[in-house]
Structures are given as structure tokens and as C-alpha cells.
Amino acid sequence: MIHTLIQGLYCLPILMLPLAAQHTNRLTLEQSTDLQAWQTVPMTPAMLDANGKILVHSATPERFYRIQIELLTPAGIATQPASTSITSGQTTTLSVTASGTGPFTYQWYEGSLGTTATPVGTNSASFTTPALAATTSYWVWVSNDAGNVNSSAATVTVTGGNVPSPEEFALISAGNFQMGDNFDEGSTDELPVHTVNLSAFYMGK
């Protein structure tokens, strides 16, 4: 809807919304002198009367105004960050998918859900952890112009360090072994010849 502005104070009756309703609506006020080129007019609290109408004032004899109202859906979580397991010393990337009307703002946190003492990452839908040596939990706060929401916590479970594969080892079977100098050519600590009992163990090849 377009309204002609005469010199002085003018009320745009299209806005009959109470002030509280603006939390779920995005309002854009534009002005033009020729109905061809439109320029956005920054909206300030001083432009709203007690009934939520927009009041504009100009010394220009004639201008045209229009208002666009976009209904906003509050931020929600479509896909939660997923828990995962990594080996000690590795990193992993967590991600979230937001729902609602964008754009969205993201803030990741380390710790149990609701703990905000340790913010991490950037304003992004994904977060790459540092190299971890212990199991750690993360969650993300998502917001838009209509509201905000917390994700569930994702736990990154850290398992032991790098363990060589079995192919890199040789199995030494259990048994009794004679140790010492059978030829009387060694040092005194190699005498007398004695029996050693060993359990099975692996030795690197």
C-alpha cells in the first residue's frame, strides 16, 4: 500500500500492530519521490506511536511511502548436532540445521547444555573441535529476529591413542626358556644357566 505524504506529520494506517507483535514481524519502511526508485528509511522507536502506528515527518512537500511486512517464524532446530567418537588427539566437526526465518546467529559452547562459561567457534552452523584428549560435550544457541533456541548437547567421546595394528606385531608364545652362558665364555652375571618362565606377549616386528 502506498500513501502520499504532505508536508508535516503523517500517520501510516497500515500498521495497526501492537508493539509486542513486532517480535514476530519484520517491517521495512521505504520512501520515494517518483514511485520508481525506493529508498529504505531506518525505523526508530520515535517513529511509533502508542498504538503501534508509524509516524513520519518531512519538510519535503510530497513523498510516497510503502511498508513491507514479513511474518517471521522463530528460530528452531531442524537437525541437532550429533554425538560422535574420535581417537585421542583427533578433531571432529559438529553441525546444526536451523529452521525458521533467516538470517540466523549461532554461538557454540563447550560443556553441558545451558552452560555458557566457555563459548567456542564462530557465528557458523558448524564447529570444528580442537584436538581432544578427553570426552567433551558441545551445544549451540541459534537465534533470529523472532526468537532463539538451544540445541541438544552433542558428546564427543574420546577413545585411547593410536594402537598399532596386529600386523605390526609378532606373537611370542608362553613357555620356559633356558637363559645364561652354556659355554663358560660369558660374564659372571650370565651364570649359572637358569630357567625363565614367560607368558605370551607381542613384540614389534
Looking up cell 522507536 gives 45
Q: Rounded distance, CA 198 to CA 83, Å?
A: 43
Residue 203 pLDDT class (50, 70, 90 cuts): confident
Q: What pLDDT score was predicted for residue 57?
A: 57
Strand partners, 126: 95
pLDDT higher than threshold 90 for residue 63: no
Phi then psi for residue 10, to 5 deg, are -140, 140
Residue 105 pLDDT class (50, 70, 90 cuts): very high
Alpha-carbon dihedral sign for residues 20, 31, 4, 45: positive
Instruction: Map residue 188 onto helix, strand or coil.
Output: helix
Q: What share of the chain is helix, strand, coil (3-state, %, to 5)?
A: 5, 45, 45
The identity of residue 122, as a single letter, is T
Run of H or E including 31: strand 25-32
Q: What pLDDT score was predicted for residue 32?
A: 80
Could you tell me whether strands 154-159 and 84-87 are parallel, antiparallel, or unpaired per DSSP bridges? Answer: parallel
Percent of the chain clearing pLDDT 90 (strictly above): 39
pLDDT higher than threshold 90 for residue 91: yes
pLDDT higher than threshold 70 for residue 56: no
Q: What pLDDT score was predicted for residue 173?
A: 75
pLDDT higher than threshold 70 for residue 79: yes
